[in-house]
Amino acid sequence: MKNIGIISKPGKPEPPEILKELIPWLTGKGFNVFIDRETSDVMGIKGYSRSEMPELVDVVVVLGGDGTMLGAARLVAEKGLPILGVNLGGLGFITEVNRSDLFTAIETMLRGECSVEERIMIQADIMRNGEAITTYTVLNDLVITKGALARIIDLETQVDHSYVTTFKSDGLIMSTPTGSTAYNLSAGGPIVHPVLDCIVLTPICPHTLTNRPIVLSGGSLIEVGLKSESEDVFLTLDGQIGVSLKKGDVVKVKKSPHKTRLFIPGERDYFQVLREKLKWGER
């Protein structure tokens, strides 16, 4: 572990402040540091495009919130690079290191004393006229949803080629365990322990109230076909990328061969994370 990449949330004042101290600290220990260009431009130092970084580094440190972490996870998924997330955002379910613990956590990582937790990712192939037009891999979730003025949409759903139902709803969430505390939770889906191997299927505001979330095996193939005429339907990936869908399109979802590898410094109790982030037990 000689080359360290650092990706930060653009526009926040904290990353440049941290990096003014962190970069000389790392280089003084003999490490090569690669800063993403969005941050380096603000600091007036040399930077690298994010697309270059997976080929240049051995590990990635993320300074930001869960959104920055999700983008980094997709970026390095194919290379399988481990990520250390430092929370400068809000809840921070996957960027668990606090700013005050940053240097301690990085030192633990550099000594090789961090455990690495693997999280499954899911892959979506968008099929149009029987052909895959694009493929995406995500850490949190895939969401099919209608626009603000669109009617309820019909989503014909199959699991492992067996017909499940046609959801008449505002949309459908397909979530990893990591993403279970994101949109899935807001839509009434279950919290799933992040290291489990499964996919959660959660309808959004279903017209049939007995349509409930379901937890599927991680090895399942989910196929969702858009049967509505509406032209205002989108597939959203990790809440960050949107793709317009047409009637007849089928979204095929399965577990990705790639995983996100997260550094976990010290002993971590996931239920403590839930208590702190979701304020369990508070009045």
Q: Which two tokens stand for residue 163?
A: 């017909």
One digit per residue, the tens of pLDDT, for the chain of length 283 reads 799 999 999 888 899 999 999 999 999 999 999 999 999 998 999 999 999 999 999 999 999 988 999 999 999 999 999 999 998 877 778 887 888 889 999 999 999 888 999 999 999 999 999 999 999 999 999 999 998 777 899 999 999 999 999 999 999 999 999 999 999 999 999 999 999 999 999 999 999 989 999 999 999 999 999 998 877 899 999 999 999 999 999 999 999 999 999 998 877 778 888 888 888 888 7
Which residues are known catalytic residues?
A: 66
Q: What is the pLDDT of residue 269?
A: 79
pTM: 0.92
Backbone angles phi, psi at 263, to 5 degrees: -75, 130
272 to each of 66, 172, 183, how far by Cα in Å?
Answer: 18, 30, 21
Instruction: Please name the residue ranges forming H helices in the chain.
Output: 14-28, 37-43, 53-56, 66-76, 102-110, 183-186, 270-278
Delineate the domains of the chain, giving CATH numbers in brackets: 3-114+265-278 (3.40.50.10330), 121-257 (2.60.200.30)
Q: What is the pLDDT of residue 149?
A: 72
Q: Is 218 helix (H, G, I), strand (E, B) or coil?
A: coil
Give pLDDT, residue 88. Answer: 87
Phi-psi region of 66 (alpha: psi -120 to 50; beta: other; left: phi over 0): alpha
